[in-house]
Amino acid sequence: MKIEEHPCFNRESHHRYGRVHLPVAPRCNIQCKFCNRLFDCVNESRPGVTSALLSPAQAMVYLDAVLREKPDIRVVGIAGPGDPFANAEQTLETFARVRRAYPDMMLCVATNGLALLPYIDELHRLQVSHVTVTVNAVDPLIGASIYSWMRIDKRVRNPEQGARTLLERQKTAIAALKERGILVKVNAIILPGINDSHIPAIAEEMGALGVDLFNCMPYYPNKGSALEHLKEPDPHSVATIRSAAEAFVPQMKHCTRCRADAVGLLGEAPSQNLMNTLKNCQHLSVDQAPARISSRPYVAVASMEGMLVNQHLGGAGRLLIYGEKEGRLGVVETRATPEAGSGMARWQHLAERLADCRALLVASVGPNPEKVLTLSGVEVLTCEGLIEEAVRRVYAGESLAPMAVRPRKVCKVGCGGDGMGCGG
């Protein structure tokens, strides 16, 4: 592999060589106040969004198609839409598959660094040559104004405590990467009025660790985020910050704020053909691309009477939680769903309550809860029929196609909502 052909790390390469990001990492272990991963416009380029989520096997089908259409691709990266190491199993399996199929391909990963350290030796073994770590503060008090929460060692920590631990882990991981000869780029999001005057201090500390490149990335307003009121920093301010940071680390000045499903040259308009391929790959059957194996022990079910999968998620006051019990699959407990009326927060709270569930079985679901739950790592499956059969199929990795929701018969009689039909 030719390291100088990486389009992000070498400005001379970015008009000649492309990259592809494989969106196999849905979960995140940090909630940044500037981030909203739920909104997705295909014409918008920013980190944390994707138009599809793939398993490692599905990602390989997609990658094969990408390389047929764009032979100038030199780098395969994983950049979310969550954090790659909050999804370490999927991330490392994907890299292993790519390395076997395309031994000369450069591999690259972008992470917040919170859970990076335990996987550095494996990254080195897989010859991952480039790692990007996002460092938005080296002062925990400033970090506390940037992050809402962090999940550290399976516990949610408050912003200041989390920011302190995050910085410690980022610095340790970066030092370990450099010891192994891995190239490191640090991204710092310029947040006006929060950390814009702090960016040079970040660059100084990162320069002392020997990072190879520093990217002062202008904040992009994200609708629905806690910091949506902030304005994008103007070009003059960005140039001034970069000039100050350049005293400590070489600067990347051609960043295009890539999506988690970016493909092609930096700044190149998305290929509609590849976008369609990406979306089609996420629907590949188990036989065509085996579903990812989840370590989460439970499956949640929306049911009116406890026998059938037959309830719309929005109308479910409680969910049945299935898991292994005395060697058999059965109901482990029931969990109340958050009350309606809190908008998107309702689904984010539900995602937290289902953090140990690999899937949710429902008769129907709206687009907002489906995306929130999917990004949190809960696979949302619509089906109808006996719960016992549906749950068995999920644990066995079998398709739910035989249990697909049937089109409803339209009649002029109001629906009673009891799941037993209207008799019309």
Q: What does the pLDDT look like over 352-361, one tens digit per residue?
A: 999 999 899 9
Beta-sheet strand order (sheet of 263-264): 213-218, 183-190, 128-134, 106-111, 73-78, 18-21, 263-264
Task: Look at residues 255, 281, 307 and tell me which one is the last residue of a structural domain.
Answer: 281
The answer to whether 49 and 23 have CB atoms below 8 angstroms apart is no
- In-domain check, residue 424: no
Task: Look at residues 281, 309, 336 and tell me which one is the last residue of a structural domain.
Answer: 281
What number is the average pLDDT over the span 290-300?
68
- In-domain check, residue 410: no
232 and 133: one domain?
yes
- Confidence band of 133 (pLDDT split at 50, 70, 90): very high
271 and 389: one domain?
no
What number is the average pLDDT over the span 26-37?
80
More confident residue, 423 or 89: 89
- Confidence band of 283 (pLDDT split at 50, 70, 90): confident
In the predicted structure, residue 413 carries a pLDDT above the cut 70: no
What number is the average pLDDT over the span 388-395?
87
Q: How many CB atoms are closer than 10 A to CB 232? A: 13
Q: Using alpha carbons only, give the angle 45, 111, 259 rounded to the nearest 5 degrees.
A: 15
107 and 245: one domain?
yes
Task: Look at residues 254, 281, 308 and tell me which one is the last residue of a structural domain.
Answer: 281
340 and 231: one domain?
no
More confident residue, 327 or 361: 361
- In-domain check, residue 313: yes
What number is the average pLDDT over the span 204-229?
87
In the predicted structure, residue 291 carries a pLDDT above the cut 70: no
| Mean per-residue pLDDT of the chain | 84
In the predicted structure, residue 415 carries a pLDDT above the cut 70: no
pLDDT at residue number 250: 93
In the predicted structure, residue 366 carries a pLDDT above the cut 50: yes
237 and 117: one domain?
yes
More confident residue, 50 or 370: 370
- Confidence band of 139 (pLDDT split at 50, 70, 90): very high
pLDDT at residue number 404: 81
What number is the average pLDDT over the span 226-242?
88
- In-domain check, residue 419: no
137-151, 192-206, 367-381: least confident range: 367-381
AA letter at 225: S
Q: pLDDT for 112-122, tens place per residue?
A: 999 999 999 99
In the predicted structure, residue 1 carries a pLDDT above the cut 70: no
DSSP assignments along 139-208, one per residue: SHHHHHTTEEEEEETTEEE-HHHHHHHHHHHHHHHHHHHHHTT-EEEEEEEE-TTTTGGGHHHHHHHHHH
In angstroms, the first-to-last Cα distance of the chain is 66
Q: pLDDT for 177-188, tens place per residue?
A: 999 999 999 999
Residue 338: burial class (beta carbons within 10 Å; 0-12, 13-18, 19+): middle
63 and 127: one domain?
yes
Q: Using alpha carbons only, give the angle 67, 281, 64 rounded to the nearest 5 degrees.
A: 20
Residues comprising the chain, all counted: 424
220 and 316: one domain?
no
- In-domain check, residue 172: yes
366 and 237: one domain?
no
97-111, 130-144, 329-343, 404-418: least confident range: 404-418
What number is the average pLDDT over the span 154-165?
84
235 and 312: one domain?
no
- Confidence band of 13 (pLDDT split at 50, 70, 90): low
- Confidence band of 346 (pLDDT split at 50, 70, 90): very high
The encoded tokens of residue 17 equal: 């060589």
27-36, 39-48, 156-165, 266-275: least confident range: 39-48
Nearest alpha carbon to residue 192 among 233, 220, 224: 233
What number is the average pLDDT over the span 282-302?
66
- In-domain check, residue 327: yes
DSSP 307: S
pLDDT at residue number 44: 45
Alpha carbon separation from 374 to 26, 78, 153, 297, 301 (Å, rounded): 7, 17, 22, 16, 15
Query: What domain count does the chain have?
Result: 2
84-98, 243-257, 272-286: least confident range: 272-286
Q: pLDDT for 35-57, tens place per residue?
A: 765 544 444 445 667 888 888 88
CATH code of the domain in which 232 resides: 3.20.20.70
What number is the average pLDDT over the span 134-149?
92
Per cent of the chain over pLDDT 70 is: 86
CATH code of the domain in which 369 resides: 3.30.420.130
In the predicted structure, residue 256 carries a pLDDT above the cut 80: no
89 and 238: one domain?
yes
- In-domain check, residue 412: no
pLDDT at residue number 152: 85
What number is the average pLDDT over the span 338-355?
91
223 and 316: one domain?
no
**Domain that includes residue 182, residue range:** 3-281
- In-domain check, residue 14: yes
Q: pLDDT for 58-96, tens place per residue?
A: 899 889 988 888 888 889 999 988 899 999 999 999 999
What number is the average pLDDT over the span 96-103?
90
SS3 content of the chain, % helix, strand, coil (to 5): 35, 20, 45
44 and 138: one domain?
yes
